[in-house]
Amino acid sequence: MVLLAQLAEYLLNDSENWNLKKINSIVDTNKTQIVNIGDQPDIHVLYWTTWIDDSGVVQFRTDIYNRDSKLKQALEASAPILKY
């Protein structure tokens, strides 16, 4: 939860009115608070179910959004046929 509050603080970019203490106090109310952000930031969300960690170990996680099978089908459908 700390990282989400830090992300909110960064995106709001208004330390006078939206510091971590205020953000956390609003989150603690469990009520929706709509806040306008000045400049629309570019946000890229990456969804990885498999990766290699810093130690070189392959990490696997459950595909909670069921995207891996769709990706596999799409890759197989467009994969070039290699002839030797």
Residue 56 maps to a domain: yes
Question: What domain count does the chain have?
Answer: 2
Domain co-membership, 54 together with 74: yes
The predicted structure's pLDDT at residue 62: 96
Residue 16 maps to a domain: yes
Model pLDDT for residues 50-81, shown as the tens digit of each residue: 999 999 999 999 999 999 999 888 888 876 76
Q: How far is residue 13's CA from residue 26's CA, in Å, rounded to a whole number?
A: 17
The predicted structure's pLDDT at residue 59: 97
Model pLDDT for residues 10-33, shown as the tens digit of each residue: 999 888 999 999 999 999 999 999
pLDDT at residue 40 tops 90: no
- 24-to-10, 15, 49, 76 alpha-carbon distances in Å: 14, 13, 30, 46
Cβ 18 vs Cβ 9: under 8 Å: yes
Domain co-membership, 59 together with 28: no
Helix (H, G, I), strand (E, B) or coil at 50: strand
Residue 84 maps to a domain: no
The predicted structure's pLDDT at residue 47: 92
Cβ 8 vs Cβ 26: under 8 Å: no
What tokens appear for 62 in the block? 């459950």
Domain co-membership, 33 together with 50: no
